[in-house]
Amino acid sequence: MLLVCRAVDEDAVRERIHARVPTPHGTTMCRIGDQLLVHVPGDQLALADEMHESGLLLRAVTDHSGAPLTDREAVPPGSIVELGGSATVGGVDFALIAGPCAVESYEQLSASAAMARAGGAVALRGGAYKPRSSPYSFQGLGDQGLRIMAEVRAETGLPVVTEVVDAATVELVAEHADVLQIGTRNAQNFSLLKAVGQAGRPVLLKRGFGCTVGEWLQAAEYVLAAGNPDVVLCERGIRSFEPATRFTLDLSAVAVVKHLSHLPVIVDPSHGTGHRHLVKPLALAAAAVGADGLLVDIHPEPATALCDGDQALDRDRWFDLATALRDVLASLGRDLTLREPESAGQAR
């Protein structure tokens, strides 16, 4: 059962819960805005009544989704997540996040950031630690990549999103980056999910390519249950039998998640398709299906990219996408958040 309380009553609520739920195993709490969400195992109607009478309970939700803290009923209007103070995901705004798959050098990231901003992106993505299927593929620049990101962030003011691959480096990454990304291969690495739940940074949680929507929401529940409400979900394609695309982008899942959960959802059409000529149509489709943003691979020189160059957009394709996206979003009554795109001419 989910109990929605006021955040200001947190101490009193905790006291009451501990008094009435004998072994509070399975009890989780998460503060979202000025509300405190509390999940207790089973349906504790007496407890709910008592809390209601003493003014500690705003409302109770008898929940069946298996992921109560992420359930739509917990935050009916949907939650809004801040990225680095200057941007938000969720609500009416649409967040465009762009950057290279991997940080390769200061020059490359700096050029990417300029491109990203010129196209209207509100945050910069870039991988320092790259989880690669093969040990012989480029594994990212590691700490050096983090420092480059921090430098470009300072220069441009763009918040940066980067992947964290193990609990041991969560703290280090959280020092340099604004948003901690959990990649598809760690989507059910529960130790890592608990660690980012305590890191004090928003989390961009990619769907595991072999995971159902239900499992994805339960993965998010691990983060919220550790106290961190700032989770942005990211659909990036699932495994299917179709070989024409690298993965099968499951846009239905976006609509399903918007129905089931209050968390914002963005889409990664770059990893989802694996081919640059498919990124624009799927990006527009993601906007139309109701996604709250996009994560797009861009690169100043895709042909030289050390990682996933086939899916990276060059400057022209990126600006073309950003322009078309504005029109589609406007038709849906949505806006790109904050930042206006510079004209292509200025940007060059």
Residue of 1, 58, 256, 347 interacting with a copy of itself (CB under 8 A): 256
Residues in Cβ contact with 267 at an 8 Å cutoff, skipping those fewer than 6 apart:
234, 235, 236, 249, 251, 254, 282, 283, 286, 291, 293, 294, 295
Query: Between 70 and 88, whose beta carbon lies closer to a copy of itself?
Result: 70
Query: Between 41 and 55, whose beta carbon lies closer to a copy of itself?
Result: 41
Q: Locate 58 and state its tokens.
A: 């705003």
For residue 340, count other CB atoms closer than 10 A to its CB.
Answer: 9
Query: Between 95 and 195, whose beta carbon lies closer to a copy of itself?
Result: 195
**Amino acid identity of 238?**
I
Residue of 47, 149, 203, 284 interacting with a copy of itself (CB under 8 A): 284
33 lines the binding site for a copy of itself (CB under 8 A): no
Query: Between 158 and 249, whose beta carbon lies closer to a copy of itself?
Result: 249
The CA distance from 5 to 33, in Å, is 11
Smallest distance from a copy of itself to CB 236, Å: 12
Query: Between 53 and 241, whose beta carbon lies closer to a copy of itself?
Result: 241
Residue 115 in contact with residue 156, Cβ under 8 Å? no
221 lines the binding site for a copy of itself (CB under 8 A): yes
Smallest distance from a copy of itself to CB 211, Å: 7
* Coil vs helix vs strand at 40: coil
Query: Between 69 and 115, whose beta carbon lies closer to a copy of itself?
Result: 69
Residue of 150, 172, 289, 347 interacting with a copy of itself (CB under 8 A): 289
Residue of 174, 196, 205, 225 interacting with a copy of itself (CB under 8 A): 225
Smallest distance from a copy of itself to CB 12, Å: 24
**Pure H helices in the chain:** 10-20, 45-53, 106-118, 143-156, 170-176, 190-196, 213-225, 251-260, 269-273, 276-289, 315-331, 344-347
Q: How many binding residues for a copy of itself (CB under 8 A)? A: 74
Residue of 105, 155, 214, 343 interacting with a copy of itself (CB under 8 A): 214
166 lines the binding site for a copy of itself (CB under 8 A): yes
CA distances to 40, 181, 304, 318, 321 from 308, rounded to whole Å, are 44, 18, 10, 16, 19
Query: Between 100 and 140, whose beta carbon lies closer to a copy of itself?
Result: 140
Query: Between 199 and 213, whose beta carbon lies closer to a copy of itself?
Result: 213
> Which of 166, 175, 173 minimizes the C-alpha distance to 195?
166
259 lines the binding site for a copy of itself (CB under 8 A): yes
> Which of 75, 92, 73 minimizes the C-alpha distance to 35?
75
Q: Which stretch binds a copy of itself (CB under 8 A): 46-54, 88-96, 146-154, 273-281?
A: 273-281
Q: Locate 226 and state its tokens.
A: 């550790």
Residue of 253, 263, 265, 321 interacting with a copy of itself (CB under 8 A): 253
Question: Site mask, a copy of itself, residues 187-206, x = CB under 8 A?
Answer: -xxxxx--------------
The CA distance from 143 to 96, in Å, is 26
Q: Which residues sit opposite 279 in a β-bridge?
A: none
Residues in Cβ contact with 21 at an 8 Å cutoff, skipping those fewer than 6 apart:
27, 40, 41, 44, 47
131 lines the binding site for a copy of itself (CB under 8 A): yes
In degrees and rounded to multiples of 5, residue 205 shows phi and psi of -105, 105
61-80 residues in contact with a copy of itself (CB under 8 A) are 66-67
Residue 209 in contact with residue 245, Cβ under 8 Å? no
Query: Between 277 and 348, whose beta carbon lies closer to a copy of itself?
Result: 277
Residue of 242, 303, 340, 346 interacting with a copy of itself (CB under 8 A): 242
